[in-house]
């Protein structure tokens, strides 16, 4: 019997943002693998095995899930947000590429989810209404100089920038350095959005400007969107501003 491995996106937190395909893939699995807090979000079913692991053990978790599936089991690996965005799907692919030939015969299914960037954007308005990019600020898996080059390039050509993994105890200064860098290329008034734990009970969304952006506002559960020079905030009485990036850039032939 050939096994099955589903890599399932849970969305950012709100159960209403879990797709029906994700729900079905979780229910169908005989065993679940994932970072402990993500597994805790998934309802348990009698007879279903759970294998929580630490945040940093992505390669080992992927390999363990693949070994289990190769025994013929139906296994699901869960991921926050979308599994293909800075998450488990690429870790699973890397293990398959490096692993035994038998892993290539497994039925592998990636189940997409709502990524944090989309959830934060929706709370703020429509900041991703025109061209944008996403960057992980973590220099665990790439050199900081490369992150700086990418920030410069992205801001320089007018992309709105979504920053994942903005800060952690082991990476305390990188976000401040990133803001400093962006201030050299973008107007001080550029809208900046901090979305923390979006879709969870402790959600907090703050809209500020590049000039006012304070790295201390962010933690590991925060996604930051830095606008482009086209992005604007519409002030509204008694309500948070509505931030959007127009669909046409200035100078476009309409």
Q: Which DSSP string do the residues of 31-66 spell out, in sequence order? A: EEEEEHHHHHTSPP-TT-EEEEE-TT-HHHHHHHHH
Q: Nearest to ligand SAH by Cβ — which residue?
A: 81
- Residue 137, number of CB atoms within 10 A of its CB: 20
Q: How far is the CB of 125 from ligand SAH (least distance, A)?
A: 16
CB closer to ligand SAH, 48 vs 204: 204
CB closer to ligand SAH, 84 vs 227: 84
Q: How far is the CB of 250 from ligand SAH (least distance, A)?
A: 30
Q: How far is the CB of 180 from ligand SAH (least distance, A)?
A: 19
Q: How far is the CB of 155 from ligand SAH (least distance, A)?
A: 19
CB closer to ligand SAH, 87 vs 124: 87
Binding residues for ligand SAH (CB under 6 A): 12-13, 79-82, 85-87, 115-116, 120, 164-166, 195-200, 220-223
Helix, strand, coil percentages in the chain from 3-state DSSP, rounded to 5: 30, 30, 40
CB closer to ligand SAH, 3 vs 199: 199
Torsion of CA 131, 86, 114, 204, to 10 degrees: -90
Q: Which DSSP string do the residues of 141-157 spell out, in sequence order? A: SS-HHHHHHHHHHHHHT
């Amino acid at each position: 019997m050939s096994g099955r491995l589903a890599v399932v996106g849970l969305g950012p937190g709100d159960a209403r943002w879990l797709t029906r395909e994700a729900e079905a893939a979780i229910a169908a699995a005989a065993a679940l693998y994932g970072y402990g807090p993500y597994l805790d979000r998934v309802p348990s079913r009698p007879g279903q095995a759970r294998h929580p692991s630490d945040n940093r053990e992505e390669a080992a978790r992927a390999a363990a899930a693949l070994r289990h599936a190769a025994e013929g089991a139906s296994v699901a690996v869960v991921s926050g947000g979308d599994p293909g965005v800075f998450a488990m799907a690429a870790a699973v692919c890397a293990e398959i590429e490096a692993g035994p030939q038998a892993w290539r015969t497994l039925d592998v299914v990636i189940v997409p989810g709502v990524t944090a960037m989309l959830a934060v954007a929706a709370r703020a308005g429509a900041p991703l209404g025109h061209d944008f990019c996403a960057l992980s600020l973590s220099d665990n898996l790439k050199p900081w100089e490369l992150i700086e080059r990418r920030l410069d390039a992205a801001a320089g050509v007018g992309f709105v920038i979504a920053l994942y993994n903005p800060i952690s105890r082991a990476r305390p200064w990188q976000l401040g350095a990133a803001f400093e860098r962006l201030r050299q290329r973008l107007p001080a008034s550029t809208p900046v959005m901090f979305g923390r734990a979006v879709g969870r009970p402790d959600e907090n969304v703050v809209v500020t400007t590049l000039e006012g952006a304070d790295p201390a506002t962010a933690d590991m559960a925060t996604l930051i969107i830095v606008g482009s020079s086209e992005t604007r905030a519409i002030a509204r009485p008694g309500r948070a501003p509505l931030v959007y990036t127009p669909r046409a850039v200035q100078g476009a032939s309409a």
